[in-house]
Chain A
Amino acid sequence: MASYILKRVLQAIPLLLIISFIVFSLIHLAPYDVIDSITTPNMSNDQVALLREKYGLNDPFIVQYVKWLSQMLHGDFGYSLINQHSITSELAVRLPNTIRLVLPAYITALFLAITFGLTASANKGKFLDRAVDAIASIGIAVPTFWLAMILIYQFGYRLNLFPIIGMHTIGKENELADFLAHFTLPYITLTVAFFPELTRYIRASANEQITEDYVTVQSAFQATRWEIFSRHISRNILIPIVTQIGLALPMLVTGAIITESIFSWPGVGPYLLSATKSLDYPVIMTLLLLSATLVILGNLLSDVLYAIVDPRIRRGGKAS
């Protein structure tokens, strides 16, 4: 197992290099650069040229890339070109904030999805199934930003139940109740954003299991539907669920960009958005590499969890 994991990790390195090169090229192909985004009509050409020189933007593309890469390999993510803040220290604050929001929402969504998905599948073709399907369809169709604005308007403004900006009231940084009040609306928004697709996925997986032979056998043995679902099907759909969990890993970084921006949640989302608008390339590159790494790790995690969940895979054919 350990050697397998190591092999997979080593395989990921060239992939990350290629990804970084592609993203760097794309940023370079953009019709303007970070200096253009901060240039005002009052700035003289001299001053603009001076800034370009200072940030090494006059170097050839490859030189810029190699410089950035070697810095990266020394474990230095560099600084934002806009406000010169260290990206590492910025992420040290923002990443936990994002995880604090995305993780509970994702886990809630997963539980809702398992409940709804299995319920729908157990009542295939009946009213409950159609209802779940309708809810999931509506959920998929509702844009996150719109839902967020509706929640802000109804619960934040009209009913005045919750604050709508940031993560804390200033001066109450350590109060749990204050945090939860700020947390509620973005959390609901994200949960609603995550759960419909998961629901459909689980419903489809369970429907697939129902057609399997073992279900027919169990039915023949007079097992109740509840027994079949709770003891057999639910265990078998763990595999697709585990896949989903692995694939969801990068969401911990980029899972809430829109929601965070709307609620001014001090996470990775607003940081990446404003960096992208101004082509602040060190920030964009760092975040994209981070999420690419998580995609690769997520896939690896899926495979490892598979083996843990499913004895057939774990024993790799050693079973008789």
Chain B
Amino acid sequence: MKKLKYGAVTLLFATAGLFLAACSTSSSPNKATTSKTETTKDASSFTYAISGNPASLNPINTSDRWGLTVTNMIYSPLVAIETDGTQKNILADSIEAAKDGLSVTVKLKQTIKWSDGEKLTADDVVFTYTQKAKKENGNADKLWIGGKPITIQKVDDYTVKFSLPEPSAAAVNNIATETFIIPKHIYKDVADFSVKELPVAPVGTGPYKLKTYKTGEYLAFEANKTYFGGTPAIKNVTLRIIESNDTAKVALQKGEVDAAVVLPSAISDLDSHDITVYPYSETRVGYLGLNTKSDALTNVKVRQAVLYALDKSELNQAAYLNKKYYSTPNSFLPPSNPFATESVNTYKTNAQKSKTLLAEAGVSDLKLNIGFSATDPAQTVQATLIQQQLKKAGITVTLEGGDGTAIFSELKKPGSTKYNLFLGGYIMGNDPDLYAALFKTGGSSNYFQTNNAKTDQLFDKAAVETDPTKRKALYDQLQKEVADDARIYPIVDNKKILAVNNRIANVKKANLVPIYTFEDLSKLTIK
């Protein structure tokens, strides 16, 4: 027994000693470790810091930011939408909507090859859309109109025709964009397309091929030599996952990564000799929402009174520091949207009018609360300012900062009255019909809980109006009505700010676009 004791204790200390010996070598600055950044200064690779794992790498159902970013590198859509709303053909050679609004015909470019050398044909397009239109695969929303799916058939090897169950003006936009074509010959035997990662190594038409994916660490890509846009100039691209914003910033400063998204407040720390910032619009609208079902705000005059008491430019200056980093929306559509109009009531600050409206409504001593995400610095600043601005009009606001997801889960509950006011944001896309989810009665994201027959009708009419001029007029009217209804106060289209190391050139050519960051990574070069 005695021996056992000494044996055990000695063993304990001996192993500990070994560990310590192993550690002590590392705690002295090791000469061999000064290879630090030379590796990342590699002339053939570009590293971009992303903030989390892609939730889905399946092109059929991916809908999260990083999943779409990766998908856009490996695959291509028929058509891309630019930030200003114009269309750019990618795999499509031409796209034509029928006059009756019941069908869309797409001709494909005939020289496109998959990364395994096979040719892209109409079969691939039909295969992709057939899978995507299945509800159980989890991303069929845009391919259903009025409860029926859009069908697709092959006309010849390079032509497909989409047939719509009822006329839709938004069809071209909704069908041709954001669907990434996958090769039939690779995926034809996959039984289940509702998964987050397909069980076959990806083969695409995009500029890059996925080489390795280590969850929580990085995704490594190599150039696709058969890319129809020309062989990418940079051989390797790495998306490095860095969840901490601060760490990403320092990694960018020291050159461990070449590009990262930064906040306006961090820009002054970056050395402009090494790093250039590129602000670009994500067509996001950050807004103050008014819960029209909550007792205090059922009367439209009271809602308008609240909006007249606010000062938009002060809110934005405080949260985004510089006009370079944001633009100001007038209506519920982002300023760069081709349908956005300025002829709506923008509720220019007018404290007197606010008071008059409250008096007309017979309301005095109005008390409201505001829900916002406490971890979002911009929202926190704006909520505090809103509290101050409304105080001037005699409206008392209590701040209810919380978890963003929890707040919006609450707002989604029909009849919820927990929050009077709330701060949020959306990136809905290009066609104004997509915004119906937010503003139509019973819309899936109608957080404002409005029930407004007038705007509902306008949405329905504009959705099927195929004459562009008439359609624009309908949406102008619609934006005006929604503004008069005082359910939403659009505050900001805040820009994403991509900071890039100066050794990387042609960032503008690669074209910074919402969600995907780079429209075409193949255009980047290294000096």
> Which residues of A pack against B, CB within 8 Å?
30-33, 36-38, 40-48, 50-51, 54, 82-85, 90, 94, 103-104, 107-108, 110-111, 149, 152-153, 156-157, 160-167, 169-172, 177-178, 180-181, 183-184, 187-188, 238, 261-264, 266, 270-271, 273-274, 278, 308-309, 311, 314-315
Contact = CB atoms under 8 A, between A and B. Distances in A.
Contact of A41 (B138, B194, B438): B438
B166 interface: no
Nearest to B197: A84
B268 interface: no
A138 B194 CA distance: 53
B204 interface: no
Contact of A51 (B2, B138, B254): B138
Interface residues of B, number: 76
21 contacts: A43-B63, A47-B141, A50-B135, A50-B138, A82-B53, A83-B55, A156-B250, A160-B37, A161-B36, A165-B256, A165-B257, A166-B218, A171-B39, A172-B39, A178-B35, A183-B26, A261-B244, A266-B217, A270-B216, A308-B9, A314-B1
Nearest to B29: A161
A83 B33 CA distance: 35
Contact of B197 (A83, A167, A271, A309): A83
A264 B215 CA distance: 12
B311 to A, nearest CB: 26
A156 B135 CA distance: 49
Interface stretch (B17-25, B114-122, B504-512): B17-25
B128 interface: no
Contacts of A47: 135, 138-141
A36 B444 contact: no
Contacts of A266: 214, 216-217
Secondary structure at chain A's binding surface: helix, strand, loop or mixed? helix
Contact of B405 (A32, A160, A309): A32
B453 interface: no
B64 A38 contact: yes
B8 A262 contact: no
Interface stretch (B234-242, B341-349, B456-464): B234-242
Given A44-B444, A94-B216, A104-B19, A164 B250 contact: yes
Nearest to B241: A264
Given A50-B136, A111-B16, A177-B30, A274 B52 contact: yes
Nearest to A105: B23
Interface stretch (B154-162, B317-325, B426-434): B426-434
B150 to A, nearest CB: 15
A50 B238 CA distance: 34
Interface string B47-70: 000001111100000011000000
B520 to A, nearest CB: 23
Contacts of B1: 311, 314-315
Interface in B170-217: 194-197, 214-217
Given A107-B16, A149-B246, A161-B33, A38 B241 contact: no
A216 to B, nearest CB: 26
B273 interface: no
A239 to B, nearest CB: 12
A172 B2 CA distance: 48
A264 B406 contact: no
A169 B403 CA distance: 35
Interface string B229-253: 0000000001011111011001101
Given A165-B242, A274-B243, 16 more contacts: A37-B405, A42-B434, A43-B141, A43-B445, A50-B136, A84-B197, A107-B19, A107-B23, A111-B16, A163-B256, A164-B251, A165-B240, A169-B39, A177-B33, A266-B214, A266-B217
Contacts of B16: 107, 110-111
B107 to A, nearest CB: 28
Nearest to A42: B428
Nearest to A40: B63
Contacts of B26: 180, 183-184, 187
